[in-house]
Structure 1
């Protein structure tokens, strides 16, 4: 907070795990957001808005969101629902499936179950962040001729493995996101009305535990480290 009471947010110029940081292009946080909500929208919000835009989501589209209860995925469920899409939320475990339904997903599926994609109708837009076999099943679900896959990560550790012939042979497209952060994007995220899920808030000294929770995939929404 500044001396005149304003709250500022931005990406630090140096390492992020610090009690103090230098921000070269800070954005003022509106009074409608808490500090933790602003932290979530600063990174996950800008990514979600960029991914939704890249997917060119239209009313009536069937939109698959991987990791639908994560920091970005939970926002994408909201954005796709707002756009009038039929949202298919892919997440892990009964608790997270229930959260995805509460966020507005029309269908929920547990992607930790082998063969999870069997029986699903074709997908117009797949918003993919898990990678590996999960991303491949999302790709295989794309509607021939018009399906769009947006890649913005591979949290599972392995990238999507497809051959070029798989793409043009089916008439589908793959878009990769890069460089989604800007001050304009942050302002858009802050004004979006999105409601980030706030998961655990841990002290900075517990950063190692935070990484363990992320790697174990036991978290929902945004995990916050508090200096």
Structure 2
């Protein structure tokens, strides 16, 4: 097994290579405006550090969000292109699941919530029974609307840190940004146990900003 994992659904441009036993190389850069510029060099760097080549891959793992449109599509299109070119499967995973898994690897146990920054004063979030078990669908909401329903739960992720007043117990010491290494480890576990994956399609959770005007004038040739 040789998995290439990548995620651009958050400000982190993150890539990792997993050989079926462990992560053999990884790259993590936080820059919300340079996903397209940084991703492919990161893939080259990770492969070079591991001494492996693209044609050795047995699969591609990609975080499918939720996340903003511009960043999210960079990772998903890249993953799909690699998979199609190399004729290997592409495995989609919820980006929040990767953060939850990383929190568990860092020692967090019990029920908790993961929240990332969705901009517009909102967060993408989901609730977890443990680091491997998500119990709600990913959602996007204003942090203030979550204070009561998530009362008492530990919260992790950049969204929780940014809006700490809306959460009960924010763990800023735990991973705040996505890690492809955690995503790759989670994917390797699911492949070994027959776990489920998501299709490589983006979880936007919002309508696109650009829309056709409601009452635009149609011009037809005479």
Instruction: Tell me the TM-score normalized by structure 1.
Output: 0.38
- TM-score, with structure 2 as normaliser: 0.39
- Which structure shows the bigger proportion of residues in strand conformation? 2
Asked which structure has the greater RCO (Cα within 8 Å, sep 6+), the reply is 2
